[in-house]
Structure 1
Amino acid sequence: MGGKTCFFIGHREASKEIYSALYAAVEQHIVEYGVTEFIVGHYGGFDHLVASAVKEAKCFYSEVKLTLLLPYHPAERPIPTPDGFDGTFYPPGIECVPIIRANRYIVDYVDYLIVYDWYPASNARELVEYVRRRKGQNHLQITV
C-alpha cells in the first residue's frame, strides 16, 4: 500500500440516506488529507455504499485507487476484482483467523478510518474500541 490510505468499517445494515455524507467524507479525505487509496470490505450495505462513493470520486480524482479487502484467502475462495476496483488485498498470515483480524491488520497500517457505527454490540464497535486503545501507538485518525 503506497500513499495515504483510508479504511472503512461499518454495519451491514446501512441506509442509502447516508450516501451523501459518506461521499462528502471520501472527498474530504482526498482533498484535505491527501488520501489516494481507499480500502473497503465486501459484505453488507455499508461496504456497497462506500464502494459506490469512492467509484464516483474516482471520476473526479484520477489518482484515487479503490482496493477490496478480501475476507478469505484467495486460493480458497477466489473473488475476482469487481468492476471499478483497482485491486484486491489479503493480509498475510491470517489464513486461520476470523475476518475481524483482517480488519485489525488493516487499521494497524492505514492513515485514516471512516466509521459508521450505530449498533452497540458489533464488530464495527469492537474495531473502533481496538483503535482507540492503540491510538497512542500509531497515527490513525478516525472519522465517525
Structure 2
Amino acid sequence: MSRKSCFLIGHREASEKIYPALYTAIEEHIARYGVSEFMVGRYGGFDRLVVKAVKIAKQSHPEVELTLLLPYHPAERPIPVPDGFDSTYILRAWKGTRKVAIVRANRYMVDHTDFLIAYAWRPTSNARDLLEYARKRREKVSSG
C-alpha cells in the first residue's frame, strides 16, 4: 500500500468549537483512506488545532507522521523541528514576497498530496482561494 498524505489549511481565527469535527476528519482519513502523513503550516488557530488533533491521533496510530510546511527557507534563523512534529518540509525555490511564497507552497501541497482538509468560511481568504483551486484542479483531473 502506498503512503497517503493530507494537507490541512484553515483560517487563523479558528475556534476551539471546530476541534471535534477536525479530529473526526483526521481519524477518518487515517482509518478510511489510509493517510499516514499530515502536513500543515503554523500560522494561526486552525494550524494549532491540527497539531493538537494529530498529536492525539498518533497515540492510537503511531505510524502517522506530522510534517510542518515551511513555505520558504528560514535562512535568517534556521528552525528546528517543533515539538509535536516529525519533520519539516521546505519548498526550496521561491521568488517574491513571503505572502506569495505561502500561496505558492499551499498550491504545491494541493498538487502533491492525496487529500485536503480545509476550514474556509470567509469568502475572501487564502484558505478559500486554495479550496477553489483544489476544486477546479479535481474537476480538471476527473474530466481529462
TM-score over 0.5 for the alignment? yes
CA gap of 1:138–1:4, structure 2 versus 1, over 3 A, is farther
When the two chains are superposed, the root-mean-square deviation of aligned CA atoms in Å is 1.6
SS in 2 for 1:101: helix
Superposed, which structure 2 residues align to 1:1-144 within 5 Å?
3-96=3-96, 98=100, 99-138=102-141
Contact 2:6–2:113 (8 Å) recurs in 1:
yes
Deviation of the 1:136 alpha carbon: 3.4
Contact 1:107–1:131 (8 Å) recurs in 2:
yes
Instruction: Give the whole-Å Cα distance in 2 for the aligned partners of 1:70 and 1:138.
Output: 27
Letter in 1 for 2:82: P
Letter in 1 for 2:25: A
SS in 2 for 1:59: helix
SS in 2 for 1:13: coil
Contact 1:72–1:95 (8 Å) recurs in 2:
no
| Number of positions where the alignment pairs a residue of Structure 1 with one of Structure 2 | 138
Letter in 2 for 1:42: R
The structure in which a higher percent of residues are helix is: 2
In structure 1, runs of 5+ residues without a counterpart are 140-144
Deviation of the 1:80 alpha carbon: 1.6
Instruction: Give the whole-Å Cα distance in 1 for the aligned partners of 2:8 and 2:55.
Output: 14
Letter in 1 for 2:19: Y
SS in 2 for 1:37: strand
Structure number with bigger Rg: 2
Contact 1:11–1:116 (8 Å) recurs in 2:
yes
In structure 2, runs of 5+ residues without a counterpart are none
Instruction: Give the whole-Å Cα distance in 2 for the aligned partners of 1:138 and 1:79.
Output: 36
